[in-house]
Amino acid sequence: MDVDVDGAPNAYGPKGKPALDILKHARSPKGSEHPGEIVGYMTEYTGGPPTVQGRNDPYPGYYVSQTDFADEHNPRMEDPRRYVDATRVNYVVQGKVAREAGAVMGDFAVVTSCRTGKSVYAILADSGNESGAEGSLALVRALGYPLKNGIDDSVDHAEIVIRYYPHSNPGKQFFKTQADLDAAAIKLGLKK
């Protein structure tokens, strides 16, 4: 499982600012529909300069990093708090298997590590990896892996299982904390 830091307010930034990932990882992979296109952070216009956080944002000077799943109640597109924070909330990337199962952005999942034996709740919050073998930094840490960033960190063996719950979040409830996500999953009766 690759580590995804998209949505974290300190995911990407200009040279000189220590970020959770490198700018190369913010681009669509070669086999995608639009290879090389910037997808990890917002730009002022297609192919334009990055949208930079202002003084009242969490990380002034850093780029506004996005996830596909966003808070519909926050209309300010350039607000980093509109997106799922990869350092605070467990999420998985929607791959082909999830789509074929009918799971859409915001739906719940249960993710288990066969190595550590830990299981956690997560949501589908981003796309871009057809294998679906990608999850937020918070997720891999919650599963017991001591990873620090998205630069060169990943779980190198096929030992993580994702169980999707299609149509489990029809109201598109947005979660700012893992505690809120966990409470909603428990209320739905999802089993770890």
List the chain pLDDT tens, one digit each, 192 residues.
Answer: 999 999 999 999 999 999 999 999 998 877 777 788 898 999 999 889 999 999 999 999 999 999 999 999 999 999 999 999 999 999 999 999 999 999 999 999 999 999 999 999 999 999 888 888 899 999 999 999 999 999 887 888 889 999 999 999 999 999 999 999 999 999 999 998
- What are the CA-CA distances from residue 16 to residues 19, 39, 61, 127, 159 (Å)? 9, 21, 11, 28, 36
Location of structure tokens 């929607």: 94
How would you label 67-91 residue by residue, b for 16+ Cβ within 10 Å and e otherwise? bbbbbeeeeeeebbebbbbbbbbbb
Confidence at residue 168, expressed as pLDDT on a 0 to 100 scale: 97
Token readout for 62 is: 């850093």
pLDDT for residue 174? 98
Q: What are phi and psi of 12, to 5 degrees?
A: -135, 145
Q: What is the pTM of this model?
A: 0.94
Structure tokens at 67: 């996830």
Answer yes or no: are the C-beta atoms of 73 and 174 closer than 8 Å.
Answer: yes
CA distance 135 to 124: 9
Three-state SS at 184: helix
> 166 near 106, Cβ under 8 Å?
no
Domain positions in the chain: 91-187
Please tell me the predicted confidence (pLDDT) of residue 84: 98
At CA 81, angle to CA 39 and CA 60, rounded to 5? 85
Q: Would you state the pLDDT for residue 131?
A: 81
State the residue for tokens 């990407």: 12
What architecture (CATH level 2) is domain 91-187? Beta Barrel (2.40)
Beta bridge partners of 119: 112
Query: DSSP string of 104-163?
Result: -TT-EEEEEETTT--EEEEEEEEE--TT--EEEHHHHHHTT-----SSS-B--SS-EEEE
